[in-house]
Amino acid sequence: MSSKSKATIADVARAAGVSTATAGRVLGHYGYTSEEKKEQVLKAAQELGYRPNALARSLITGKTRTLGVVAGDIQNPFYASVIRGISNVADANGFGLLITNSDEIPAHEVHAVELLAQKQVDGLIVTPIDTRRARHLFSIKAMGMPLVLIDRAVGGLMVDRVATDNIAAAEQAVRHLIGEGHRRIGIVAELVDENFMTLDQFVSHAIAGDPIESETLYPSWQRLLGYIRAHRIGGLTVDPRLIMRAGSYSAQAAQDVVPPAMTSAHPPTALFTTDGTMSEGTMRALTMLKLSVPENLSLVCFDDLDWMSFLRPGITTVSQPRLAMGEAAARMLLERIRGEEYPSRTVLMPAELILRGSVSRV
């Protein structure tokens, strides 16, 4: 047999002097085989360089031992850490990963989900873009494929989900600034259009303490809600002019919205940014304006990125348990793949406020 050809179970059986059925039991890890014959088969397989045919096995078992992941942007440190957590659990349980990127574009997400379903992954982990309808995800659930959501929920879709408690984490961060004497605190957030109410309506309802269905909100809206709650608890008025809405997930958009507020007649004394991308754009804007942190402005950022600890002074941040979120999502998905049945579960993980040197007392 050529060294370049692929050894088959029949080749292994012939070399080991056993039947093909016996070789199949040993290499497929099922049924009973004597220790003597098991050793013969394993030795022959090693000498021939036998590798199991995953496709053939999947046709027999209906399982590919792979998990599919649809991330918003795999270059974003948030997703990179989450995927690392998923990978840790998948590897430990003998599963592979197929990772796709939606770029936060709905059509890309739909295509990615369809592609992974065609690849017959055993389950999916998705960060959904459409939190209101997402028909493709309802279809996946109806097909019986196990599905876990990361970071965001979809209204009416009863599946497992893992996320950070964004509202509580943002409230804690802003209350820290209030505790240091700040009364004019700006927020820099994407606040991508949710199409359910205007920003002014949202702020009015939040200030009044009206009930808001927060579970299906994008994280930046949840963090805005935490920002407003901190003001309400602290007895402070929310100035809508200090809500800097970038309108898209880009550092450039954040960089563009910061200067008008900072050069106004009544600029903020502190800023709260709602994620790493907003923080990057904000820092660029502050550098362009020649403003120093914390001498001219205090700063708290959501998401603890490497550069925030390298700066002097370091940046006070809200650190999400990104690795743990990925690990939890993968464990929940594997439980569903094994057929374990529970009501749909939501795990909200607490974030940690890491105090560094970017907040000064007023």
Query: Quick one: pLDDT at residue 4?
Result: 40
Q: The whole model's pTM is what?
A: 0.82
Together in a domain, 152 and 272: no
Domain count, the chain: 3
Together in a domain, 172 and 228: yes
Residue 2 forms part of a structural domain? no
Query: Quick one: pLDDT at residue 358?
Result: 96
Query: Quick one: pLDDT at residue 192?
Result: 87
Query: Quick one: pLDDT at residue 185?
Result: 98
Do the Cβ atoms of 132 and 109 come closer than 8 Å?
no
Q: What per-residue string of b and e applies to 5-25 under the rule 16 or more CB within 10 Å gives b?
A: eebbbebbbebbebeeebbbb
Number of H-type helices and E-type strands within the chain: 14, 12
pLDDT in tens, 284-319: 999 999 999 999 999 999 999 888 988 889 999 999
Print the domain residue range for 134. 62-163+323-348
For the chain, residues with pLDDT lower than 70 are: 1-5, 52-62, 194-195
CATH number for the domain that contains residue 266: 3.40.50.2300
CB burial of residue 284 (10 Å; 0-12, 13-18, 19+): middle
Query: Quick one: pLDDT at residue 61?
Result: 52
Going by their DSSP bridges, the two strands 96-101 and 66-71 should be labelled as parallel
Question: Which residue type, as a one-letter code, is found at position 150?
Answer: I
Query: Quick one: pLDDT at residue 125?
Result: 98
Query: Quick one: pLDDT at residue 56?
Result: 55
CA angle 133, 203, 272 (to 5 degrees): 95
